[in-house]
Amino acid sequence: MTHEELLEVMPHRGRNVLIDDYVDEGADEGTDEGKRGGRGTLTIAEGDAFGRDLFLVRCAGELRYSAFFLVEHVALNSVMILREDMGGGRLAYFSAVTKLTVHDTATAGTPLVSHVVRTKDRRAFRGFSARVETADGRPILDVNFMAYLAARGDRPDTQAMSVAPEGFCRAAPERFPGFDKALVFCGDADALGRCGGVYPADNPLCEGHFPGAPVMMGMAQWLAVAQRGAIDAPTGESEIAGSGSIARADGTPVLDVAGLRAAVTKDADGNVVGLRLLATRKVAFRGMIFPGDAYVATFTSD
């Protein structure tokens, strides 16, 4: 399917978060009868025409795909698998990511292939398993995830914005020089020890997730938890392992993360010059962050 065809099926996504193309595949053995799979391809190089190079991270002088956002791109394959389930204005919202294992990284411009299989149905929930690999078969990551089918709704007028208190923490792009500044969602602690920031209305992700009704991408929330853990990592190379969360500044739960492991490299000035996701046991999406909302990220080491 071409970009235009993908956009027809996924009007709630913009070009800057799309995969390149998608093809239906038969389901693997062992899945529920009647379930199916799909194969998507993705190649992002520096200067990508759709702005998807936002998802590349510079580490040790090389631009590489961010594993956080590869999971988002894999999830788009499942939306295509669910397209016949999405009648009546329903959309697929992702409720959980489980059993993520990152096997390797890939440099920018490497063609990637994702294979996704629909594994189970539980009322309005749909389960999937997925693998991302290079075009020559080198494994990049394996992951399971769950989607929830629900009617699309705009932000309720009764839902007040979570306004940042005076002196609230801010995101600190200078602390994460390998990331595009739009992908830095955490910063130094404020006077009350809070780390987090405010999701800006001009973030380029707002154009793709979702056009006309933007919310902070769940993968961005997940990344913010990892950034929170990386801030406290020691100088040099280390590995962080633990759990964390995102909540709106008013205390409303948004996301919980368990069993997160990441490799971190910090320079002598305390800047995170390398942050590579290794594994995550579970990510549970519990709420939404809208442009202008203030949020707090936490991370507790195991």
- Write the CATH number for 89: 3.10.129.10
Q: Do 267 and 215 fall into the same domain? A: yes
Does some domain include residue 209?
A: yes
187: Cα within 13 Å, side-chain hemisphere: 18
CB count within 10 Å of CB 77 equals 26
Q: Do 139 and 180 fall into the same domain? A: no
Q: Do 22 and 145 fall into the same domain? A: yes
248-266 residue pLDDT tens? 998 999 999 999 999 999 9
Does some domain include residue 162?
A: no
Does some domain include residue 256?
A: yes
Q: Are 215 and 209 in contact (CB under 8 A)?
A: yes
Contacts of 90 (CB under 8 A, 6+ apart): 149, 150, 151, 152
Q: What torsion do the CA atoms of 87, 90, 95, 100 make, to the nearest 10 degrees? A: 40
What distance in Å separates the CA atoms of residue 76 and residue 18, rounded to the nearest whole number?
7
Q: Do 136 and 103 fall into the same domain? A: yes
Q: Do 139 and 182 fall into the same domain? A: no
Does some domain include residue 177?
A: yes
pLDDT per position in the chain (302 positions), as tens?
777 787 777 767 888 999 999 998 875 555 444 557 999 999 999 999 999 999 999 987 899 999 999 998 888 888 888 877 766 666 777 889 999 999 999 999 999 999 999 998 887 788 999 999 999 999 999 999 998 877 665 444 446 778 888 899 999 999 999 999 999 999 989 999 999 999 999 999 998 988 888 999 999 999 999 999 999 999 999 999 999 999 999 899 999 999 999 999 999 999 999 999 999 999 999 999 999 999 999 999 99
Dihedral angle sign, alpha carbons of residues 282, 19, 54, 177: positive
Q: Do 25 and 146 fall into the same domain? A: yes
Q: Do 117 and 184 fall into the same domain? A: no
What distance in Å separates the CA atoms of residue 148 and residue 90, rounded to the nearest whole number?
10
Q: Do 245 and 297 fall into the same domain? A: yes
Does some domain include residue 167?
A: no
Q: What torsion do the CA atoms of 80, 118, 133, 245 make, to the nearest 10 degrees? A: 90
Q: Which of 222, 221, 244, 220 is nearest to 232 (CA)?
A: 244
| Structural domain count, the chain | 2
Does some domain include residue 161?
A: no
Q: What is the pLDDT at residue 94?
A: 86
Does some domain include residue 144?
A: yes
User: Does pTM top 0.75 for this prediction?
Assistant: yes
Q: Which of 101, 116, 151 lies at the terminal end of a domain, its last residue? A: 151
Q: Do 146 and 249 fall into the same domain? A: no
Q: Do 42 and 109 fall into the same domain? A: yes
Q: Which domain holds residue 72?
A: 3-151
Q: What is the pLDDT at residue 27?
A: 57
Q: Which of 99, 119, 151 lies at the terminal end of a domain, its last residue? A: 151
Strands 62-65 and 272-285: unpaired
Q: Do 200 and 287 fall into the same domain? A: yes
Q: Do 33 and 81 fall into the same domain? A: yes
Does some domain include residue 127?
A: yes
